[in-house]
């Protein structure tokens, strides 16, 4: 992976399921990375300037990663409640 040290471990609840998150610091401490593994080579990695920043970014992106794997549009409403966004999806007109 990369030269890193685990600095924190946490569990995030998304769509009623618990997901394990590890927060890593780069070898020199200049960057942080949050990672959730879905098995095999499938994982989501989110970076940040601090451990808290990486975890917060991961909290927002994890539902998207899970939803894309589940391929269910019904998760859209659940995702909106997770990030507290009330806008409807945008239509793209070509």
Average pLDDT over residues 8-17: 89
What average pLDDT is seen over the chain? 80
Round to whole Å and give the CA distance between 23 and 36: 9
Distances in Å between the Cα of 59 and the Cα atoms of 16, 35, 51 are 14, 11, 12
User: Please, are residues 33 and 22 in contact by the beta-carbon 8 Å criterion?
Assistant: no
pLDDT tops 90 at residue 20: yes
Average pLDDT over residues 44-66: 93
User: What's the confidence (pLDDT) of residue 72?
Assistant: 52
Q: pLDDT tens digits, residue range 70-93? A: 755 555 666 666 665 445 545 445
Helix, strand, or coil here: 18? strand
């Amino acid at each position: 992976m990369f030269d890193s040290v685990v600095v924190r471990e946490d569990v995030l609840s998304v769509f009623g399921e618990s997901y394990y998150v590890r927060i890593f610091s780069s070898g020199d401490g200049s960057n942080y990375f949050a990672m959730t593994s879905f098995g095999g080579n499938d994982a989501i990695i989110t970076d940040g300037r601090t451990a808290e920043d990486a975890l917060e970014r991961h909290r927002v992106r994890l539902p998207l990663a899970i939803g894309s794997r589940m391929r269910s549009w019904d998760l859209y409403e659940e995702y909106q409640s997770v990030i507290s966004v009330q806008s409807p999806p945008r239509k793209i007109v070509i």
